[in-house]
Structure 1
C-alpha cells in the first residue's frame, strides 16, 4: 500500500510541476507577444465598403 500511496503523491507532484511549467510557458508567450505588438505599425481601421446598390440595380 505504501508504494501505491507514494505513486499517488508523486503523480500529484508531477501534475503540479507540469501545470507550473505550462503557466510559465504561457506567461513567456504573452510577454513575447506584447513586445511584438509594441513595435508593430498601426493599421487603418477604415474598413467600410462603398455602397454599390446604385450600380447593381442600374441607378435611376
Structure 2
C-alpha cells in the first residue's frame, strides 16, 4: 500500500499550481525578451541579410516563339 500512496503523492505534485494573471504576463514577457535576444544574435544575422535575387536574371519565357503566335 505504501507504493500506492507514493504514486498518489507524485501525481498531486506533478499538477501545476494555478498562477495569477500578473505572474503569467511576467513569464510571457520574459520568454518574449529571450526570443528577441536570440534573434539579435550575430550568428542569425547572416540569414537575415541575404539579398533578394534579381528577377532580370531569370530565363525569359519563349512560349510565344515556340507556338508561333
User: Shorter-chain TM-score: which interval?
Assistant: 0.5 to 0.7
- Which of the two has higher C-alpha Rg? 2
Give the whole-Å Cα distance in 2 for the aligned partners of 1:31 and 1:14.
Answer: 26
RMSD: 2.6
Q: How many residues align?
A: 46
4+ runs deviating over 4 angstroms: none
Higher RCO, Cα 8 Å, sep 6+: 1
Tell me the TM-score normalized by structure 2: 0.49
| Match among 30, 34, 57 for residue 24 of structure 1 | 30
Q: Deviations over 1:5-55 (max 9, x none)?
A: xxxxxx8x71110011101101101110110433x2642322413431xx1
Find the aligned partners of 2:26 and 2:63 in 1 and give their Cα distance.
59
TM-score (norm 1): 0.55
